[in-house]
Structure 1
């Protein structure tokens, strides 16, 4: 069952229809192309083919669907996380706004989900370490982006995204972790130096 209503999936006046008979919210390449203002779905297919190794089975699948005349064809579909990753590689004028739009929907799906998985204390600590390193990568990327761009490096786009766009991911995850830390029993945590790290994490400022 999809938590997000179909009426909510409207981006810039484009109604995006989730794929039926599959758990979660999945979009076709055609709908993604329409939202990202590509002329056809081949552009999305080319992006996927170029970066296929970065997608997991939870981000994209190939389904067989019926067409007019009872013919069957194979269609590639993307979950919301997969759609966000496609938009990370896209360079259309609306790609940045589309990424934010997808993240807003993902946040709502998490909030409205009837089943909340419970992480162990050690898992929460591990995620806090991951958050810290992600924020460090964000800070470093933002600092060195101008130099990378000046050099004309092919990585300048990635550095820009890490330095400026990743905050739309790290801000909500930081809030989630700060909430989870409140219920954490530090005595049960096996990771060494976790207490000091958690204190620094709680007291550190959010990156902008």
Structure 2
């Protein structure tokens, strides 16, 4: 996941955990929850770690560069969207309620595959009605997230619109079903 996410003016580039899902570092969560530092997030997690599972949080090794431009390896805790939402439920900050709503929207979007990235075999598994519903939701999300006129994110919106139009065209083509000629029926009867 490489797209920037924006919550209340904070831009966050999700941590790439190699699974294509949205992950937040403890530092991200501290910024989003408006804590002074990530130690507060780690304390919150440690007090409630029995409520988290491996799909919600993990400790990973992240590479970065120090002030001397040397590569360093740091172990850091990351939270999936669900794990981040649980942190938001446990947090007692003014922004926690808005963060929970924002994270639920992310979770919903993450749980639905992006139709523009699906191959034909996977598309066949999704009904036309479901495809249309997902395209409408994708378009609404894109407009809400990247549709501010004059913003740099409008270029992302234009790319989304191009993909959305391609998917809408494909859905329209799929919905045009031609019935094959069934030939003559015995005894001149019509089909029921």
Q: TM-score, normalised by structure 2?
A: 0.55
1:96-135 residue pairs with structure 2 within 5 A?
A: 96-113=97-114
Runs of 4+ in structure 1 off by over 4 angstroms are 113-116
Distance of 1:21 and 1:31 partners within structure 2: 14
1:48-197 residue pairs with structure 2 within 5 A?
A: 48-68=45-65, 69-113=70-114
User: Secondary structure at 2:13's aligned position in 1?
Assistant: coil
| Counterpart position of 1:17 | 13
Distance of 1:66 and 1:83 partners within structure 2: 22
- Higher relative contact order (CA closer than 8 Å, sequence separation 6+): 1
Distance of 1:39 and 1:6 partners within structure 2: 25
Deviation at 1:90, TM superposition (A): 0.2
Aligned-residue RMSD, C-alpha? 1.9
Deviation at 1:21, TM superposition (A): 4.4
Deviations 1:98-157 (A, max 9, x none): 0000001111122335579x9xxxxxxxxxxxxxxxxxxxxxxxxxxxxxxxxxxxxxxx
Flag the structure with higher helix content. Answer: 1
Deviations 1:67-119 (A, max 9, x none): 22122110100000000000100000000110000001111122335579x9x
Asked if the contact 2:17/2:23 (under 8 Å) is kept, the reply is no
- What is the aligned residue count? 113
Deviations 1:27-78 (A, max 9, x none): 1000111011111101100000000011000000011112221221101000
User: Secondary structure at 1:93's aligned position in 2?
Assistant: coil
Give yes or no for the alignment of 1:38 onto 2:39: no
Larger Rg: 2
Q: TM-score, normalised by structure 1?
A: 0.51
Flag the structure with higher strand content. Answer: 2
